[in-house]
């Protein structure tokens, strides 16, 4: 009889231990699933931030290139407006050196403004 009681107690203890370990395993699985979901969410957020940053940098580069193109066009327009016809050669024009130097100085200043605007926007992040 004592052997049966000990056997039953051991069986109950083994079942209890098994249920407790099963409970711990389920908790561990829940924690692992939560960690996996958080990792997926963090990865998606990082990808969204990277995409937004790439879009921002592309917009900045486009704005910078547009600014430089506008400055180049302004220089060409200025040179075209200030050209002088060559005597006895119809259809030929010349541009005085002072005008060319002034156009170059203006272009350099415009490029510097474009660069400053680009750097400011890049530093501000907008």
How many domains, the chain? 1
Which sign does the torsion angle of CA 59, 63, 68, 70 carry?
positive
Domain that holds residue 18: 2-124
pLDDT in tens, 94-104: 888 899 999 99
Q: Is pLDDT of 26 > 90?
A: yes
pLDDT in tens, 31-88: 999 999 999 999 999 999 999 999 999 999 999 999 999 999 999 999 988 888 777 7
3-state helix, strand, coil in the chain (%, to 5): 85, 5, 10
In this predicted structure, what is the pLDDT of residue 126? 67
In this predicted structure, what is the pLDDT of residue 96? 86
Q: Is pLDDT of 27 > 90?
A: yes
- Asked if 85 and 93 count as a contact pair (C-beta separation under 8 A), the reply is yes
Distance, C-alpha 27 to centroid of its chain: 39
In this predicted structure, what is the pLDDT of residue 103? 93
In this predicted structure, what is the pLDDT of residue 22? 97
In this predicted structure, what is the pLDDT of residue 125? 80
Q: Is pLDDT of 15 > 90?
A: yes
């Amino acid at each position: 009889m004592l052997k049966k009681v000990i056997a039953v107690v051991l069986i109950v203890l083994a079942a209890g231990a098994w249920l407790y370990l099963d409970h711990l395993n389920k908790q561990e699985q829940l924690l692992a699933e939560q960690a996996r979901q958080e990792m997926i969410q963090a990865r998606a957020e990082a990808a969204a931030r990277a995409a937004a940053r790439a879009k921002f940098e592309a917009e900045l580069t486009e704005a910078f290139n547009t600014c430089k193109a506008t400055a180049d066009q302004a220089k060409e327009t200025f040179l075209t407006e200030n050209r002088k016809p060559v005597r006895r050669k119809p259809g030929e024009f010349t541009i005085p050196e002072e005008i060319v130097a002034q156009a170059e100085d203006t272009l350099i200043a415009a490029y510097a403004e474009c660069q400053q605007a680009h750097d400011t926007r890049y530093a501000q992040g907008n």
